[in-house]
Homo-oligomer: A and B are copies of this chain.
Amino acid sequence: MREVAVIGIGMTEFGELWNRSFRDLVAEAGMHAILDAGIEGDEIDAMYIGGMSSGRFIGQEHVGSLAVEVAGLEDLHIPSIRVEAACASGGVAMHQGYLAVASGMYDIVVVGGAEKMTDVVGAEATNILASAADREWESFFGATFPGLYAMMARYHMKKYGTTPEQLASVAVKNHYNGSLNPKAQFKRRISIEDVLRSPMVAEPLHLLDCSPITDGAAATILAPLDIAKKYTDKIVKIRASALATDTLSLHGRKSFDSVPAAYHAAQRAYKMADLQPKDIDLAEVHDCFTIAEIMAIEDLGFFERGEGGKATEEGRTAIDGEIPINTSGGLKSKGHPVGATGVAQINEIVMQLRGEAGERQVKDARIGLTHNVGGSGGTAVVHILEVI
């Protein structure tokens, strides 16, 4: 298979974008990525669009075709495919785009992700998101994602002594990082006390332990390594693209203090890239809830099991820490338009590796990792990128 590089990135701001439609967001993110790559529209060979539930959020399935029309590329009749894996849809779209280029079937491939979540009321958004859990045995009986992740948090706390303050420290760090990101939904800094005083959503998770409902889109442009050299001299290579699954239901899992699919995706990615956790300079991880970031940095091998909370509290995952996590602000502060999230993670890592991350730039960032999870862990995708 061929080596693959990211030659362009683009995204909208993330937030409650009531004056912009789904197609506005798709167009804007795609246009930024095309301009960044310096390609022409008619050089595009195929598109992959990650989206979780546009059918329910805005009454629109078939968004692969929509993206072609929005981009004005209908006369090319190029393949354009939506892929879905709940909140990992963007990461899975990246995996498919990678495969499409690596295989030799397509050269220039656009990978996009988009979700317009604020056109429904809040309770309905939670209900729609619950369609990523097991409908028959979880969401039908009232389980929602705050509830499912709260159970994981309780288990982690009991087993390892993880504290509410340690959970809160994830949110505090990510809000700080988000305050340095012009595209973030929440740019205000918060304290441990702010988190602990915020309303309880599902014990032990407070409101400020949860990522928000967000509108947004992100896009990347992929190309084979040799073609990439024509467009840019700061090439970011995809060293690994790995995907793993597990049971849809949380109750079916063998483990509740980790996300086994993420662990397995990471192991495959490290093997594919011939790298170890210590080789990674920074990572964007799937902090849909604060406990999720703690499990992520353990699943990825950055810290021992049960050490993630303490490490966060000690600042070891801050921008100037030993392994900066979620410099973008993460899902918690940057926002979580579910289908776009996995692609936006790639955007942040590419900016960092190119040295374009401004105030939140990590020094000497050369190798970055993204970690994107669907549902309570039914799907996980890990990518490793390196600037060459």
A163 interfacial by beta-carbon distance below 8 Å: no
Flag if A55 contacts B56 (CB, 8 Å). yes
CB contact between A69 and one of B80, B102, B252, B260 (< 8 Å): that residue:
B252
How many copies of the shown chain assemble into the complex?
2
A16 interfacial by beta-carbon distance below 8 Å: no
Stretch at the interface among A92-100, A202-210, A363-371: A92-100
Which residues of A103-130 are within 8 A (CB) of B?
Answer: 103-105, 128
Q: Write the chain B residue with the least CB distance to A265.
A: B77
A236 interfacial by beta-carbon distance below 8 Å: no
Flag if A245 contacts B80 (CB, 8 Å). yes
Measured in the bound complex, the distance between the Cα atoms of B246 and A260 in whole Å is: 40
A220 interfacial by beta-carbon distance below 8 Å: no
CB contact between A81 and one of B75, B96, B375 (< 8 Å): that residue:
B96
Q: Write the chain B residue with the least CB distance to A75.
A: B254
Measured in the bound complex, the distance between the Cα atoms of B252 and A50 in whole Å is: 24
A271 interfacial by beta-carbon distance below 8 Å: no
A247 interfacial by beta-carbon distance below 8 Å: yes
A292 interfacial by beta-carbon distance below 8 Å: no
Q: Write the chain B residue with the least CB distance to A98.
A: B105
Flag if A84 contacts B84 (CB, 8 Å). yes
CB of A47 to closest CB in B, whole Å: 8
Contacts A61-B131, A81-B96, A261-B77 given; does A66 touch B248 at CB 8 Å: yes
Measured in the bound complex, the distance between the Cα atoms of B140 and A84 in whole Å is: 24
Flag if A79 contacts B245 (CB, 8 Å). yes
Flag if A55 contacts B103 (CB, 8 Å). no
Measured in the bound complex, the distance between the Cα atoms of B314 and A85 in whole Å is: 47
A64 interfacial by beta-carbon distance below 8 Å: yes
CB of A19 to closest CB in B, whole Å: 15
Measured in the bound complex, the distance between the Cα atoms of B79 and A232 in whole Å is: 32
| Complex interface: chain B residues within 8 A of A78 (CB) | 244-245
| Complex interface: chain B residues within 8 A of A83 (CB) | 81-84
Measured in the bound complex, the distance between the Cα atoms of B357 and A209 in whole Å is: 58
Pairs across A and B, CB under 8 Å, 29 listed = A59-B131, A59-B139, A59-B140, A60-B135, A62-B132, A62-B133, A62-B375, A64-B378, A65-B86, A65-B246, A65-B247, A65-B374, A66-B248, A69-B252, A74-B245, A77-B260, A77-B265, A78-B245, A79-B95, A79-B243, A79-B245, A80-B245, A81-B83, A81-B95, A83-B84, A99-B103, A102-B103, A103-B103, A103-B105
Given contacts A59-B140, A62-B374, A99-B99, 5 further A-B contacts (CB under 8 A): A53-B55, A58-B135, A62-B375, A81-B83, A83-B84
